[in-house]
Structure 1
Amino acid sequence: MKRSKYISIILLASIAILSACGSSDESTAGSGSGEGTTDERWEEIQEKGEIVVGTSGTLFPASYYEDGDDNLTGFEVEVMREVADRMELDITFEILGIDSVLPAIQSGRIDVSAMQPTEKREEEFNFSEPYKYSYTTMVVRKDDNSDINSLEDLEGKKAGGGATTIYSQIAEHFGAEVVTYGNAPNEAYLRDVHNGRTDVVINDYYLQKFGIAEFPEFDIHLHPDLQFRPTVKAIAMPKQADQLTEEINNALQEMREDGTLSELAIQFFEEDASQKPDLEMEDIEGLDL
């Protein structure tokens, strides 16, 4: 009888210890970045041995197909290939329009994508450290700069852009009507400025610079006087994917330290877009991005 009683006491003590351990584990899981967090997306990626990246495939020189073949390349594409390689993962690219990227991350269709971080986006998504620095410019018609001499002159103009991009929000902030496109190539946006269907395209300096160079027959150029709103590009991923964020940041840091990031930037942009530009630029107040 005593032996049975002692066994019962030992069993109860063991259960109590196991319960305490379980409570301790649960209290650390999901508490943010660092040790003890649970990152289901990272676990899924490791299990598959593959990371799925959303990209446009239409924006030279960031993400595009080389002429005459189906080879996807560009700065953001090659950065992600290098990141995946350093994480010892295979990589698959999913071609998406900009307006579909964030919903695709939330649904699990893709794991990550290049994106400008904003306060609102950071409430719903994790972001890596920036890997590209730039600023905002306008494509306008050469003969009269589309009658735009200041940001305030955007009022009443037609601006080509994606429905949910920061650049379209800037246009709307200053009173422009946004003419939206799907996952259209540079040519569609730029031709419409040339032929007068739209007046302006607001976008990243590097994308605009090389987009214009592709179509010398169009009567368009970068606005000579308007350079504004410094920007960064980072890698967006699901909220609380803290281990995935850390792994990507480690790979990007290695690439920055060994010069790979600079080499890729110069290869595609002819300038080192991995460094902050040495320019004075106007920021824009009152944007709820």
Structure 2
Amino acid sequence: MRWAAKQKKVVARIKWLTLGALVAAAIGYMYWDTEINPGSAQHTSSSGSGLEKTLIMGTDPGFKPFEYKNGQNVVGFDVDLVREIAKDTNRSLQIEEISFDGLLPALQAGRIDLIAAGMTVTPERAKNAAFSTTYYSAAQRVVVPKTGSTVESVDDLKGKRIGVQLGTTGDTLAHKITGASVVQLPATSNVMQELNARRIDAAIMDNGPATQYLATNPNLTMLARDLTKEDYAIAIKKGNTELLKQVNDSIKAMKKDGRYDALVKKHFGAAAP
């Protein structure tokens, strides 16, 4: 009887020692995972960071200087603008790279919180998204080879091969030109490559990216006349009135306190339009 009782005590003690060892190992692993290996934490976690949550921005980084790749990073005017919005709303920023024509579907599906991609406000787009106040005014321009081109005015575009980025307002405009053969490409850089190779006669694109590309493509030039004047705004899912107000308040604050002017000067080297 005494032997049996003693044996039970030994077994119980072994169980407690084993449990203690398991608990110590678990605590040790947790320490290693969070302190020694911090990269294992999910990006969206805000525990201990003081941030409310992550703001997910959708963009297509082929539209310099608004959004483009610098190594593996997406940079540009729109990225810096939304980074300031994230700061103003106490959020961290996450960027999702999506083709331009897939941005609105991604917004509607809830994959992203907003779109900042040099997106022009149009009646058609306004059916599928809410838009912030204007943050940049732009124009559609025609780019042609500097020599040997027969396109000297907008009227000369009739019947010509016109390159555009798929899904842009330039794409829409090109399709309205009588007899034009519209070549739709995934990015503005691809349009410029086709124009330099003379596989298209002209390109239609926003004046900001056009100016950037002309700086490194001396064989190309822009026609003097604007095709359209248009406004860029941030697209937000319909019904998300809280985020829409926060974005508008942040843009207003940036224009008032000088941050907006500083971003324009950084990316365009000029005063804010």
**For residue 172 of structure 1, what is the aligned residue in structure 2?**
175
Aligned partners of 1:118 and 1:92: how far apart in 2? 26
1:117 to 111, 118, 121: 121
Unpaired segments ≥5 residues, structure 2: 1-50
Deviation at 1:178, TM superposition (A): 1.4
Supply the AA of the counterpart residue of 2:168: T
- TM-score between the two structures when normalised by the length of structure 1: 0.72
Aligned residues of 1:190 and 1:212 also touching (Cα < 8 A): no
1:121 Cα deviation (Å)?
1.4
- Give how far 1:271 is off: 2.0
Supply the RMSD in Å over aligned alpha carbons: 1.7
* Match of residue 159, structure 2, among 156, 159, 184: 156
1:181 aligns with 2:180: no
3-state SS of paired residue (2:264): helix
2-structure distance, mates of 1:65, 1:130: 24
Moved more, 242-251 or 112-121: 112-121
Deviation at 1:109, TM superposition (A): 1.4
Aligned match of 2:138: 134
Counterpart selection for 1:50 from 54, 76, 80: 54
Report if the CA contact (8 A) 1:212-1:221 is conserved: yes
Deviations 1:4-31 (A, max 9, x none): xxxxxxxxxxxxxxxxxxxxxxxxxxxx
Q: Structure 1: which 5+ residue stretches go unaligned?
A: 1-46, 276-289
Identify if the C-alpha distance between structure 1 residues 173 and 88 changes in structure 2 by more than 3 Å, giving closer, same or farther. Answer: same
Compute the displacement of 1:164 (Å): 2.2
Are residues 143 and 215 of structure 1, via their aligned partners in 2, closer, same or farther at CA, if it must alter by over 3 Å? closer
Higher relative contact order, structure no. (Cα contacts within 8 Å, ≥ 6 residues apart): 1
Give the match for residue 4 of structure 2: none
Q: How has the CA–CA distance of structure 1 residues 200 and 117 changed in structure 2, closer, same or farther, with 3 Å as cutoff?
A: same
Q: Contact between 1:159 and 1:168, CA under 8 Å: does it hold in 2?
A: no
Distance 2:269 2:241 in 1: 33
Q: How does 1:1-289 map to 2 (within 5 A)?
A: 49-66=53-70, 69-114=71-116, 115-144=119-148, 146-175=149-178, 176-182=180-186, 184=187, 186=189, 188-216=190-218, 219-223=219-223, 225-272=224-271, 274-275=272-273
Read off the aligned partner of 1:134 and give its amino acid letter. Answer: A
Q: Which structure's CA Rg is the greater one?
A: 2
Residue 163 of structure 1 and its aligned partner are, at CA, apart by: 3.0
CA displacement at 1:58 relative to structure 2: 2.1
Q: Offset at 1:88?
A: 0.6
Relative to structure 1, the CA distance from residue 139 to residue 179 in structure 2 (aligned partners, 3 Å threshold; closer, same or farther) is: same
What is the deviation of 1:185?
5.4
Q: Shift of residue 149 of structure 1? A: 2.8
Q: How far apart in 1 are the matches of 2:104 and 2:216? A: 29
The CA deviation at 1:211 is 1.3
Q: Do 2:63 and 2:188's aligned partners in 1 also have CA atoms closer than 8 Å?
A: yes
Q: CA deviation at 1:239?
A: 1.2
Q: Secondary structure at the match of 1:174?
A: coil
Per-residue Cα deviation, 1:130-177 (whole angstroms, up to 9, x for no partner): 111121211101014x32233232221111123322111111111322
